[in-house]
Structure 1
């Protein structure tokens, strides 16, 4: 099953270089173990094949969040509990050395946009970070309040609060609502695996974006070469899901 998603045309010329760079990365990327598991765990870019794993959409939708109900405070709590049971509630540290429980402190009460980075990355990670910076500008005052960006490290053996801070500052992404997160491999490996994002090596991580609303059990994938306007619209859709 191949999936095609196209971003809004409104900002195409603003991010033409970024989009081209991301598409080149898609063409160069090699299949990961998750890609090799099944032919239908892939995303096809316009006109070319790009092996981006979408395990989250299948596994999370079918196992954890499949029990849809009408929204209410009690149901929201139940859904967050299911997210906690699925993802675990491991403790991660951010670029300021502050510790957070993944579900209790970050997913609960927030719309989140998740991506995977590592601080020694020289190509995809800076491009994605710049793209998300443009999305942040569109969110405005809600950023850091109801909406958070979570950049999870694929290199927990090397990424420390200090290296995460340096990376965030270098790419103008050191904001209260944008947490660059890592932990021991015993925490990061199962967490990223649940997201379908654990790589064989840090450089093999996927560039797929994941938008989520744990209280509504709504999770979607977003292509990394989507425009900022399209990503912002998807976040609004996740937030509004009844």
Structure 2
């Protein structure tokens, strides 16, 4: 006969003592001989040890997968030191891209123009650098609050357009995005390549270090941050650009008032 409820509970306890676990379907397959406690305990130990063996095999498999992932990302610069920002001149390619909702967009005309922008480069199957870059940008979004989506625009561009379609980017974005104002972009390989070239981004799958661009969409000179940059530093850069923009607007208004 099969184990009753108390027997099943006991089997769970015995398995836990051996560092293993298994589901109710496995328990249901255990058959014991009435009154034969030695046979019952033998069955329990056999299934518990089987669960422990399964756990060990899974651990080995996970370890191998992590090792393989490490090999695939050997060229990634995981250094968490202070980023070294540099001024860079950028150009926006006149191409169509797709956002995470499948909408056709122009990076310059629809997203960047008139906005202060924080831009990162990722691909969804990356397990090292890219989640860190996305996490940093997510923290920037939280720090800037409601300004993201109005004055500020976040942009993440996939460098793997052949695999990262809008749906995949949408699924990926949910782990990091907390509100509007963050566009995740992909497109044809040709369009993405032209976009990355204009932004002077030269990374690839096996060798790309963390990079984040911060700039004013009305200006062609932006700041490029290398490494895992402190989100607060990026938020301060946005604040500085916002202040410069407001100062320029005031000076322009004063100059117009004094025109004859």
Q: Superposition pairs for residues 49-128 of structure 1, below 5 Å?
A: 57-58=87-88, 60=89, 86-128=91-133
Contact 1:93/1:181, CA 8 A, preserved across alignment: yes
What are the superposed Cα offsets for residues 183-233 of structure 1, whole Å, 9 maximum, x if unpaired? 11111112111222133x434333111001021444112234222211100
Change (3 A) 1:44 1:127: closer
TM-score (norm 1): 0.63
Q: Superposition pairs for residues 26-65 of structure 1, below 5 Å?
A: 29=75, 45=81, 57-58=87-88, 60=89
For structure 2, list consecutive stretches of 5 or more residues without a partner in the other structure.
1-73, 249-260
Change (3 A) 1:29 1:164: same
Structure 2 residue 230 is the aligned partner of structure 1 residue 206: no
The two structures, once aligned, show a CA RMSD in angstroms of: 2.8
Partner of 2:197: 193
Relative contact order, CA 8 A, sep 6+: which one is greater?
1
Partner of 1:222: 225
Using the TM superposition, give the Cα deviation of residue 53 of structure 1 relative to its aligned residue in structure 2, in angstroms.
Answer: 10
Pair member with larger Rg: 2
Distance between the aligned counterparts of 1:87 and 1:164, measured in 2? 21
Distance between the aligned counterparts of 2:76 and 2:133, measured in 1? 18
For structure 1, list consecutive stretches of 5 or more residues without a partner in the other structure.
1-27, 32-42, 65-85
Greater than 4 Å deviation, 4+ residue runs: 43-46
